[in-house]
Amino acid sequence: MNEKVQLFLDINEPYAAGFFEEENKGLFSRFSRAQRRYFESRPVDDYRGKRLYPSGVLNYAGYAVYPECAKTFNPDYYVPLYEKSPQGAKIMKEVRDKSNFTVVPSAAYITVSGYTHSTPHYERILKEGFDSYIERIKKIKDVDMREGLLDLLEGIRNYHSRGLAYLKSIDADSELIEALEQVPFQPARNVYEAIVCWNYVMYLEGVDNVGMIDSGLAPYYKGEDISKEIRELFENVNDNGKWNCCLGPEYNEITKICLKEGAGLRRPQMNLRVTKDMPQEIWDLALEANYSGCGNPSYYNEEMIQTMLPEGFPGITKEDLQRYCPVGCTETCIAGMTNTGGIDGNINLAMIFENYMQEQLPKAATFQEFYDGYLDEVRKGVNLFLSDIWRNHEQRAKYLPNPMRSLTIDDCIDTGLDYNNGGARYNAAVTSETGMINVIDSMLSIKHLIFDKQRFLPDEFLRLMDLGDKHLYELLKKCPHYGVDDEDCDQLAHDFTTYFYGLYKDKKCYRGGKCCPTSHQYNRHPKEGKKVGPTPDGRLRGESLNDSIGALSGKATNGPTAMMLSASKIDQKDIYGMNALNLSINKKFAKNSLEALLKGYMEENGAMVQITITSKEDLLDAMVHPEKHDDLVVRVGGYSEYFNRLTPDLKQVIIERTLHED
């Protein structure tokens, strides 16, 4: 036993110890061995008397280093490992540094995260069982990958066997024991075994995304009452603070059960694929869930999606088109077959704009000259941005294989390629932006006050804006702006976004596949806003940027219909990674009015809407008396969260949003 292995065993870090067992082997084999040792050493999960196992918060047993679904091993290990062993922390830091996972951005307006969301091919595991994977794995020519995946399966088998023995020793639910004697190594035989397997694989993979649960369980469903099991599965996702499940477009009884049991929970985020003929009963249940105050479901325009996907994923088959499944916040995924960013990085358009404005506005003879110059800066910025993401993917392919996802995502086994090296059937780099609507409104203000009305000279305008001059800011708030169904304003928004998203159309990512832009903010908009000085949209220095493709806070002054009509003027079919439109409405808003609003938006080619239903009174009271509002849920920038768990900045952003009345 070498010194590194002994060091990590002495401090009870089996994952790190496993990685150094055979340093002469390739990285795929070494990371697989690390994950095997983790599964072999991790204590079995406590049984909570429920119908599913495991349940509750994922148990990492106090390990500092353990598997992480997106980044192979957890990126936040360093401090807890240092407390155990400074030498051990130094050794693992060298592993992380060599992967160069965090690329140093080419410019201050770029961030590169490299996170990926995914959903295992649950349906294949239900149908075939992990034992059937062995013959396919044995055909892999790459010895390192072949031996690694077999090693990983042995680790899973050990963990599974110990858990099963534990359940038997405490006389746990006999039906649960019988199910786990079958799955996940053998095919599921009924709907209960299918749900038990779904839950089990979700925990193995790290509880990332639930996937297409209503269609996936449908072949096993014979009319049983599975409400309790679905609720437990959803509670497990909620307890772990994880992500999405996809419902429809082939609606069934399980769709109804999911909408009922997901009501009131902030996770999983239920994403409902809406067809033109979606049954009224599904509409009623979906809206009932929204009015439970959980921020779910979100609504996805199925007709629009089917138009977008062939462009974003060239060569996609008709069968695979039906496996569209949003993951993370809104990121596009073909369930069980995709390596998609979540996100790969973000470009701060407002920061580019501020820098450009300060230098070039005094020099511009016309608005068109100023506008065209900014477009050129954006083009240069996007090229730098995509170059950084390419380097990030390249480093991951070379130094950071992902054995678990290579096991559970098609076609990694059949191609003999790691998940991070192009093994998935579909690959994409998903990129986001911050400040797009801020830039649009800023352009409109400059055009109106400086070039059309000539109220200010450029130098004076910039000076007063920097000072926060009250008179100027009163004028800025009255300038023409996006989000009120104004033809000229919406035309500029259309032109700018068409140009911006068009910059990605022919761009490839390192693993193959396209660069798929998205427009959702997650929780970046306050942080990104702190980097940006005052902007002519009426925003003060350091204030948050916008959270979606909706109007800026307080500017949807003509109501929700006008705001959504403006958003529909953005050519959303080019946002292959999917956009978010935040709609905040008062809980007194009539359900039939909301349904009509959603249908109207989709008829105008709106792709996606996410909804917060609350009241200004509740939000303000939650700031003063948080203990009274533990269950208050809001949509943020693509995800649902308990209001009390948000940062002060995010809480303020939510409060300042336009809250539409009926």
Q: Lowest-confidence range among 364-373, 461-470, 575-584? A: 575-584
**What are the pLDDT digits (tens) for 67-93?**
998 889 998 899 999 999 999 999 999
pLDDT at residue 100, as a whole number: 62
pLDDT at residue 323, as a whole number: 97
Q: How many helices (H) does the chain have, and how many strands (E)? A: 29, 15
pLDDT at residue 662, as a whole number: 66
Q: What is the mean pLDDT of residues 97-115?
A: 85
The pLDDT-based confidence of 661 (bands split at 50, 70, 90) is confident
In a domain, 365, yes or no: yes
**What are the pLDDT digits (tens) for 351-404?**
999 999 999 999 999 999 999 999 999 999 999 999 999 999 999 999 999 999
The pLDDT-based confidence of 526 (bands split at 50, 70, 90) is very high
In a domain, 31, yes or no: no
In a domain, 438, yes or no: yes
Q: Lowest-confidence range among 172-176, 375-379, 539-543, 583-587? A: 583-587
Candidates 373, 386, 354, 295; CA nearest to 631 is 295
**What are the pLDDT digits (tens) for 242-260?**
999 999 999 999 999 999 9
Say if residue 522's pLDDT is above 90: no
In a domain, 166, yes or no: no
Q: What is the mean pLDDT of residues 569-592?
A: 90
In a domain, 302, yes or no: no
Q: What is the mean pLDDT of residues 603-616?
A: 93
User: What crossing angle do the helices spanning 227-239 and 253-262 adopt, rounded to 10°?
Assistant: 50
Candidates 326, 300, 328, 325; CA nearest to 241 is 328
Sign of CA dihedral 256, 259, 262, 264: negative
pLDDT at residue 1, as a whole number: 72
If you average pLDDT over every residue of the chain, what do you get? 95
Distances (CA, A) of 419 to 338, 416, 425, 510: 9, 10, 9, 12
Question: Is the Cβ–Cβ distance between 416 and 147 less than 8 Å?
Answer: no
Q: pTM to 2 decimals?
A: 0.96
Q: What is the mean pLDDT of residues 213-228?
A: 98
The pLDDT-based confidence of 636 (bands split at 50, 70, 90) is confident
CB-CB neighbours of 471 under 10 Å: 8
* Gap between the Cα atoms of 464 and 458, Å rounded: 10
In a domain, 479, yes or no: yes
pLDDT at residue 639, as a whole number: 87
Tokens found for residue 521: 């903010």
Q: What is the dihedral of CA 199, 200, 204, 205, to 10 degrees?
A: -30
CB-CB neighbours of 624 under 10 Å: 8
Tally of CA atoms within 13 A in the half-sphere of 89 that contains its CB = 12
pLDDT at residue 376, as a whole number: 98
Instruction: Write out the residue range of the structural domain in which residue 478 sits.
Output: 341-582+591-606
Higher pLDDT, 40 or 59: 40
pLDDT at residue 101, as a whole number: 62
* Gap between the Cα atoms of 253 and 46, Å rounded: 32
Cis bond before residue 249 (omega within 30° of 0): yes
pLDDT at residue 494, as a whole number: 97
Say if residue 467's pLDDT is above 90: yes
**Which amino acid, one-letter code, is at 600?**
G
In a domain, 90, yes or no: no
Q: What is the mean pLDDT of residues 182-208?
A: 97
Strands (E), 435-581: 514-517
Q: What is the mean pLDDT of residues 637-652?
A: 89
In a domain, 533, yes or no: yes
pLDDT at residue 656, as a whole number: 85
Pairing mode, if any, of strands 426-434 and 244-247? unpaired
DSSP letter string, 200-227: HHHHHHTS---B-HHHHHGGG-SS---H
Torsion-angle region of residue 638: left (phi > 0), alpha (psi -120 to 50) or beta?
Answer: left
Candidates 587, 583, 640, 636; CA nearest to 610 is 583
pLDDT at residue 606, as a whole number: 96
Q: What is the mean pLDDT of residues 314-326?
A: 95
* Domains in the chain, number: 1
Question: Is the Cβ–Cβ distance between 434 and 347 less than 8 Å?
Answer: yes
